[in-house]
Structure 1
Amino acid sequence: MKNQTVSRRQFIGVGMLAAAGIALTSKSSFASSILAPTKPNSMINGVQIGVITYSFRSMPGSAEQLLQYCLDCNINAIELMGDAAEAYAGAPKWDSNGGFAAKIADWRANAPMDKFIELRKMYNDAGVNIYAWKPNALGEKNIDAEIDYAFNAANALGCTHVTVELPEDPEQTQRLGDKAAEHKIMVGYHAHAQATPTLWDTALAQSDYNGINLDIGHYVAGTSSSPVDFIIKNHKKIVSMHIKDRKFKDGPNMPWGQGDTPIKEVLALMKAKKYKFPATIELEYKIPAGSDAVKEVIKCRDYAQGVLA
């Protein structure tokens, strides 16, 4: 019985050791939390703010560099342009001597998806989601194997949709819509100043997998009107939306808040209506002297934060 009894001195000693262990563990956990990298977050009150990597076109643009720019801007979701992803995956480099179109088409038709999956993991591990991909492989001159490749790569990257400039030929939107249905991945058609309230009607009627990649700056420049009513009417078909500020009457790109585009009203609408499609920062205004694309994208993100907070 005596051997089973813990003396007061033993109890104090054991308690001190336990306390020391807890303190060391706490300090270790604290140090780990301090040293652990903070992941980006641009989901602001239910509105996903993203960025198209085209915004960083004035800077070196490898896949790794683009990821770092996103982290620097505290943005956790992107529309990825095709060049960086294809370079990462080992695509042949541009050859001005001719024959490149056939060479890249052959590479795309046979490209394994391993590197795209690896790229997705690199971004996801850093806290960045790739929601859209814009490859230069969805045009009228691209063969069917390239279009299949575009959708397969989008799936490997974790995208919900690909984006492409809206073709003038309805046969091409039918072709893409049919391919999109096969792969169960949406196509978001992008328009510039030719935008009108009915511009997408034909494509939308052709396939449930044809959607809208709306650019509110271009819409304002082309229609000299607010896109709010268009968004309310078509929100179920909008897969993502580019945010920039332009002037009416095909006017220039402006720093946010200095043009005619109702960015504040659009973001407030997205928040109020709980729209789930991302609002994609597209930096197109002239970068001021002494600044760079990362600093300007941060300004745009801060503008959105101010509206949505």
Structure 2
Amino acid sequence: MSMQGTVFSRRSFMGGLAAAGAVPLLPGCRSMCAGKGPCSKFGGVQVGVITYSYRSMPDKSAEAVLKQVVDSGINSIELMGDVVEKYAGSSLEKVADLRKMYADAGVGIHIVKFGNIGDKNCTDERIAYYFNVAKALGAKAITREISEEAAKRVGPMADQHGVKVAFHNHTQINATTYDGPILSYGKNLAINLDIGHYVAANDDCVLAVIKKYHDRIFSLHLKDRKRKANKGTNMPFGQGDTPIIEALQLLKKNKWRIYADIELEYPIPQGSDAVQEVAKCVQYCKQALI
């Protein structure tokens, strides 16, 4: 049985948001987040955003991205590596400054994306640098695309540094992808499961995958794609085939410490922008969890 009907109508909720604009934080949210700033932890589930969601915004500086995150009402993020490198260069001191700037605004960085970590052309020195950057940011994990060859290489280094490497999927994933050896090369190898891409590529239920691998999943990417039969189109939250509500409620019910990161992929409506659309997605997630 779908849980969506027990919570609210997906379409009517998004229509209400469009009519009313961004919804303010409800009482009680603040107690779940430490300190000042935004709060996007609901029912014990940390909802965040991948900063790739703001790629359409004209200012892509670290300072601008921080404002975009705060204005969306989010307190924990997956940060794109190019934002870090543009701000800090190769200076770990500058990386620490970036972490402080974000923390002072109430935003934590739980994972950072370095898409080439473990590639053949990525030196051991560069890999070590990525791990040191992650630690300087306070991030618990680095993310990259699924690669068994990369897993073989970075698995031991992830264990050495005490930082996870979480593998992200597009539509190359299926229910048995992680039955293979990819996670066996290190205890700190993990999964960054994109549930929207999974739905677009497979006919089975992604919830079963979450249940099966919950102890190795570090984070989810939340987007609402239609199924392959419906061309896998990216839709506003509540209008696709991806069980976002059920996935969030599964995390809440089982108290699994899995981050749930919004990734804005659908076309931005005229008159809106990425910040406003991410804020709508936050409210959609919130209503599933409160």
**1:204 partner SS:** helix
Tell me how far apart the structure 1 counterparts of residues 196 and 205 of structure 2 sit (CA, whole Å). Answer: 10
Equivalent pair of 1:130/1:158 in contact (CA under 8 Å): yes
Q: 1:144-293 to 2 correspondence within 5 Å?
A: 144-167=124-147, 170-200=148-178, 201-249=180-228, 251-293=232-274
Tell me how far apart the structure 2 counterparts of residues 198 and 205 of structure 1 sit (CA, whole Å). Answer: 14
Specify which structure has the bigger relative contact order, considering alpha-carbon pairs within 8 angstroms and separated by 6 or more residues: 2
Q: 1:140 to 1:252 in 2, by over 3 A?
A: farther
Tell me how far apart the structure 2 counterparts of residues 56 and 270 of structure 1 sit (CA, whole Å). Answer: 26
Structure with max Cα Rg: 1
Letter in 2 for 1:297: V
Letter in 1 for 2:86: A
Determine the structure 2 residue equivalent to 1:79: 78
Gaps of 5+ in 1: 1-36, 91-110
Which residue among 53, 56, 62 is the counterpart of 1:55?
Answer: 53
Equivalent pair of 2:116/2:144 in contact (CA under 8 Å): no
**1:141 partner SS:** coil
**Structure 1 residue 171, shift from structure 2 partner:** 2.7
Paired residues in the alignment total 251
Letter in 1 for 2:70: L
Equivalent pair of 2:115/2:143 in contact (CA under 8 Å): no
Equivalent pair of 2:92/2:136 in contact (CA under 8 Å): yes
Tell me how far apart the structure 2 counterparts of residues 140 and 248 of structure 1 sit (CA, whole Å). Answer: 34
**Structure 1 residue 38, shift from structure 2 partner:** 4.9
Gaps of 5+ in 2: 1-34
**Structure 1 residue 46, shift from structure 2 partner:** 0.3
TM-score, normalized by length of structure 2? 0.84
Equivalent pair of 1:196/1:223 in contact (CA under 8 Å): yes
Q: 1:4-83 to 2 correspondence within 5 Å?
A: 38-59=36-57, 60-83=59-82
Tell me how far apart the structure 2 counterparts of residues 171 and 41 of structure 1 sit (CA, whole Å). Answer: 38
Deviation per residue, 1:235-254 (Å, 9 max, x gap): 01001110001111151111
**1:74 partner SS:** coil
Equivalent pair of 1:137/1:146 in contact (CA under 8 Å): no
Tell me how far apart the structure 1 counterparts of residues 227 and 285 of structure 2 sit (CA, whole Å). Answer: 21
**Structure 1 residue 225, shift from structure 2 partner:** 2.5
Taking every aligned residue pair, what percent have the same amino acid on both sides?
48
Aligned-residue CA RMSD in angstroms? Answer: 1.3
Tell me how far apart the structure 2 counterparts of residues 140 and 294 of structure 1 sit (CA, whole Å). Answer: 36
**2:214 partner SS:** helix
TM-score, normalized by length of structure 1? 0.79
Equivalent pair of 1:226/1:261 in contact (CA under 8 Å): no
Equivalent pair of 1:80/1:133 in contact (CA under 8 Å): yes
Tell me how far apart the structure 1 counterparts of residues 177 and 201 of structure 2 sit (CA, whole Å). Answer: 11
**2:245 partner SS:** helix
Q: 1:85-164 to 2 correspondence within 5 Å?
A: 85-90=84-89, 111-138=90-117, 139-164=119-144
**Structure 1 residue 71, shift from structure 2 partner:** 0.9
